[in-house]
């Protein structure tokens, strides 16, 4: 058994199956680049046969990413596997992940296939996939509720047919750690050719046990864990990458293995995924929650000041938390800004991007004289690296919010470069601002989500707003950050409208 634990990230596939979390091609690319920087071994970029949008996204990731294996999911049929094979073809290293359900309830009620037919289909699928790549993974969907004898039989056959990784998903999050570990141990012992493959697990979090089940499986011999940033995923989500990685890193004595992950990229990855999907991270979430390293009790604070390890088992900086350091101010120049970005691991790919980001930094520095690393990270994750095709832009704004008066917003908007003034009232200033924008743009889009987050502490903190809009089956997330949360809200709404205007379709690959 090797001591390397392979990290298979499925944020861009299973993570994207969270209702409302689907992503555009460009958003997927940004996340994939961050995963590559983190040294994720395998990136499941999507489900190529789900739609043209998903195919294009997997292909774009396969073209751009050089240091991680790029994988596409495919059902066990010829068409899905052909689309997956074509989508991953530009990758330096490409994998096809094919699956079929193996539990009695799924075979009988969903597939309407006999166990013999399921085995036959699975074996054929491996053969089709091997025409495109040697790196083929097989998943027995709902393995967590499948019969062990049947799992042993199908796994032996797909390994003989050429599968290199065998994945055991607890699709509905039904298992508990001891039981799941026993399943993995039994499979490794009983499948005669089990030594020819890497054993993998994929756990869902319906009972809050996804990480515990994954780690129990690692102790039983699994050497690949499928997981997502922030535990994003179908229903209650998947095992969270940051928790799995930090558990094995911190307790190597228990797990007897480690990953290749550069953990200092974990917090930026979490912020990026949260910003793009609009799914906030709960403050007490392990590793990446805002309170994960905050000591409130006096006794704890005293202990940490005397000797950090009295109450801390990990160092905040090792997972990418940056000290609340005053970094730059309004007099800082472009070079200082560029080198701070480099220190934070933020890659700017062109002078145009740098200029755009620097202009945004100056705008912020005019309003907020203390700029922290977190402000810069927010600035850069809120589409700061992308020079957007801004069809709609907020030029200026005035809001009225006074006791006894009807709240109102007066906006000057640039639409396709032409400025116009518009006014509206509303139930509050944010509502008034959105109504004023709609008066001008008349998008008819439906507002699905509005959320506000403070980026740093203090009343001069920037508010980061996410607005999710839906129109004709397309869903977009817009982000805006500003020290004035009403302005941040208007910017977020316009950012979402710009995405709808630019036709940045969100692909929604539900299986
Ligand atoms: O949860 C699941 O079973 C899956 C498979 C497709 C691996 O996501
Ligand atoms: Zn899943």
The β-bridge relationship of strands 6-9 and 69-75 is unpaired
Distance 211 CA to ligand 2 centre (A): 13
% the chain with pLDDT above 70? 94
Residues 79, 144, single domain; the answer is: yes
pLDDT tens digits, residue range 448-467?
889 887 776 677 778 888 89
In a domain, 287, yes or no: no
In a domain, 139, yes or no: yes
pLDDT tens digits, residue range 94-115?
999 999 999 999 999 999 999 9
pLDDT score recorded for residue 129? 98
DSSP secondary structure code for residue 449 in this structure? E
Listed residue (241, 321, 316, 225) closest to 273, CA to CA: 241
Grade residue 389 by pLDDT with cuts at 50, 70 and 90. low
Distance 145 CA to ligand 2 centre (A): 14
Residues 367, 431, single domain; the answer is: no
- In this structure, the residues whose C-beta lies within 6 A of any atom of ligand 1 are 14, 73, 99, 139, 141, 169, 171, 202, 204
pLDDT tens digits, residue range 111-164?
999 999 999 999 999 999 999 999 999 999 999 999 999 999 999 999 999 999
Listed residue (110, 122, 106) closest to 163, CA to CA: 122
User: Which two structure tokens, joined as six digits, stand for 12?
Assistant: 């861009």
Residues 75, 153, single domain; the answer is: yes
Q: Provide the domain count of the chain.
A: 4
pLDDT tens digits, residue range 289-308?
988 988 767 787 778 788 88
C-beta separation of 85 from 129 below 8 A: yes
Residues 226, 360, single domain; the answer is: no
Distance 168 CA to ligand 1 centre (A): 9
Q: Which of 301, 321, 341 is the last residue of a domain?
A: 321
User: Which two structure tokens, joined as six digits, stand for 329?
Assistant: 């101010």
pLDDT tens digits, residue range 413-459?
999 999 999 999 999 999 999 999 999 999 999 998 898 877 766 77
pLDDT tens digits, residue range 215-241?
999 999 999 999 999 999 999 999 999
Mutate to test the pocket of ligand 1, among 18, 42, 73, 172 (most ligand atoms within 8 A of CB): 73
Closest-lying ligand 1 atom to the alpha carbon of residue 73 = 6
pLDDT score recorded for residue 511? 42
Least confident segment among 63-67, 139-143, 316-320, 503-507:
503-507
Distance 303 CA to ligand 1 centre (A): 44
Distance 495 CA to ligand 2 centre (A): 31
Residues 113, 176, single domain; the answer is: yes
pLDDT, greater one: 366 or 386: 366
Mutate to test the pocket of ligand 1, among 76, 174, 204 (most ligand atoms within 8 A of CB): 204
Nearest ligand to the C-alpha of residue 141? 1
Query: Is pLDDT of 73 > 90?
Result: yes
Q: Which of 353, 381, 409 is the last residue of a domain?
A: 381
Burial 339-371 (b: 16+ CB within 10 A, else e): ebbeebbbebeeeebbebbbebbeebbeebeeb
Residues 297, 217, single domain; the answer is: no
Query: Is pLDDT of 375 > 80?
Result: no
pLDDT, greater one: 97 or 508: 97
In a domain, 10, yes or no: yes
pLDDT score recorded for residue 325? 54
For residues 26-42, average pLDDT: 95
pLDDT score recorded for residue 508? 47
Residue nearest to atom 5 of ligand 1 (CA): 141
Residues 315, 345, single domain; the answer is: no
Residues 171, 195, single domain; the answer is: yes
Residues 95, 193, single domain; the answer is: yes
User: Which two structure tokens, joined as six digits, stand for 412?
Assistant: 């000057």
pLDDT score recorded for residue 388? 52
Residue nearest to atom 8 of ligand 1 (CA): 14
pLDDT score recorded for residue 1? 65
pLDDT tens digits, residue range 168-206?
999 999 999 999 999 999 999 999 999 999 999 999 999
Distance 406 CA to ligand 1 centre (A): 51
The dihedral region occupied by 404, where left means phi > 0, alpha psi between -120 and 50, and beta the remainder, is left
Please list the alpha-helical segments (H only) found in 20-168.
Answer: 25-37, 52-64, 78-88, 104-105, 115-130, 148-161
Instruction: Supply the pTM of this predicted model.
Output: 0.81
Domain at 497, CATH number: 3.30.160.270
Residues 8, 117, single domain; the answer is: yes
Mutate to test the pocket of ligand 1, among 76, 100, 141 (most ligand atoms within 8 A of CB): 141
Residues 135, 48, single domain; the answer is: yes
Distance 198 CA to ligand 2 centre (A): 18
pLDDT score recorded for residue 242? 98
User: Which two structure tokens, joined as six digits, stand for 340?
Assistant: 């701070």
How far from the centroid of its chain's Cα atoms is residue 335's Cα?
A: 31
In a domain, 467, yes or no: yes
In a domain, 225, yes or no: yes
pLDDT score recorded for residue 369? 67
C-beta separation of 167 from 151 below 8 A: no
Phi first, then psi, for residue 363 (nearest 5°) are -60, -45
Closest-lying ligand 1 atom to the alpha carbon of residue 143 = 3
User: Which two structure tokens, joined as six digits, stand for 31?
Assistant: 């996340």
In a domain, 509, yes or no: no
Place of tokens 């330096």: 92
Distance 257 CA to ligand 1 centre (A): 25
In a domain, 95, yes or no: yes
Nearest ligand to the C-alpha of residue 106? 1
For 188-254, the DSSP string reads HHHSTTGGGSEEEEEEB-TTS-HHHHHHHHHHTT--EEEEBGGG--STT-B-BHHHHHHHHHHTHHH
Closest-lying ligand 1 atom to the alpha carbon of residue 139 = 7
pLDDT tens digits, residue range 246-269?
999 999 999 999 999 999 999 999
pLDDT score recorded for residue 361? 85
Domain that holds residue 309: 293-321
C-beta separation of 485 from 452 below 8 A: yes
Mean per-residue pLDDT over the chain, rounded? 90
User: Which two structure tokens, joined as six digits, stand for 376?
Assistant: 């810069």
Nearest ligand to the C-alpha of residue 228? 2
Domain at 140, CATH number: 3.20.20.70
Nearest ligand to the C-alpha of residue 137? 1
CA distance 233 to 381: 21
Nearest ligand to the C-alpha of residue 142? 1
**What residues pack around ion ligand 2 (CB closer than 5 A)?**
14
Distance 510 CA to ligand 1 centre (A): 11
Query: Is pLDDT of 510 > 50?
Result: no
CA distance 104 to 91: 37
pLDDT score recorded for residue 367? 76
Residues 103, 160, single domain; the answer is: yes
In a domain, 203, yes or no: yes
């Amino acid at each position: 058994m090797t001591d390397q634990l392979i990290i298979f990230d499925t944020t861009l596939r299973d993570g994207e199956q969270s209702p409302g979390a689907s992503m555009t091609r460009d958003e997927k690319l940004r996340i994939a680049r961050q995963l590559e920087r983190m040294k994720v071994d395998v990136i499941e970029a999507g489900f190529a046969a789900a739609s043209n949008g998903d195919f294009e996204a997997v292909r774009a990731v396969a073209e751009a990413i050089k240091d991680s294996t790029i994988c596409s999911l495919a059902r066990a049929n010829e068409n899905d596997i052909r689309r997956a094979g074509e989508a991953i073809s530009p990758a330096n290293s490409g994998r096809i992940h094919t699956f079929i359900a193996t539990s009695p309830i799924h075979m009988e009620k969903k597939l309407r296939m006999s166990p013999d037919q399921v085995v036959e289909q699975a074996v054929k699928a491996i053969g089709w996939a091997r025409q495109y790549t040697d790196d083929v993974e097989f998943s027995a969907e709902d393995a967590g509720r499948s019969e062990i004898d049947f799992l042993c039989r199908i796994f032996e056959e797909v390994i003989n047919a050429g599968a290199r990784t065998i994945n055991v998903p607890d699709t509905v999050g039904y298992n508990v750690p001891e039981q799941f570990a026993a399943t993995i141990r039994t499979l490794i012992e009983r499948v005669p050719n089990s030594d020819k493959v890497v054993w993998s697990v994929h756990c869902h979090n319906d009972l809050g046990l996804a990480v515990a089940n994954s780690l129990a499986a690692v102790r039983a011999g699994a050497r690949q864990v499928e997981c997502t940033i922030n535990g994003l995923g179908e229903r209650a989500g998947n095992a969270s990458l940051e928790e799995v990685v930090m558990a094995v890193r911190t307790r190597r004595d228990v797990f007897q293995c480690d990953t290749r992950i550069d953990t200092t990229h974990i917090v930026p990855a979490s912020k990026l995924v949260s910003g793009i999907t609009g799914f906030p991270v709960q403050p007490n979430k392990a590793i990446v929650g805002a309170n994960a390293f905050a000591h409130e009790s006096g006794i704890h604070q005293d202990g940490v000041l005397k000797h950090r390890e009295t109450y801390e088992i990990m160092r905040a900086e090792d997972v990418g938390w940056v000290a609340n350091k005053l970094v730059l101010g309004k007099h800082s120049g472009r070079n200082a800004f560029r080198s701070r970005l480099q220190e934070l691991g933020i890659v700017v790919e062109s002078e145009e991007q740098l200029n755009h980001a620097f202009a945004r930094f100056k705008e912020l520095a005019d309003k907020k004289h203390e700029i922290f690393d977190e402000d810069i990270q927010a600035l850069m994750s809120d589409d700061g690296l992308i020079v957007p095709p801004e069809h709609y832009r907020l030029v200026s704004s005035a809001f009225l919010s006074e006791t006894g008066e009807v709240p109102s917003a007066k906006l000057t908007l640039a639409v396709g470069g032409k400025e116009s003034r518009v006014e509206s009232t509303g139930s509050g200033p944010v509502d008034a601002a959105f109504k004023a924008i709609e008066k001008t743009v008349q998008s008819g889009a439906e507002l699905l989500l509005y959320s506000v987050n403070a980026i740093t502490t203090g009343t001069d903190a920037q508010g980061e707003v996410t607005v999710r809009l839906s129109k004709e089956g397309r869903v977009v997330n817009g982000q805006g950050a500003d020290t004035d949360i009403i302005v941040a809200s208007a910017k977020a709404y316009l950012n979402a409208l710009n995405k709808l205007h630019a036709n940045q379709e969100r692909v929604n690959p539900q299986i």
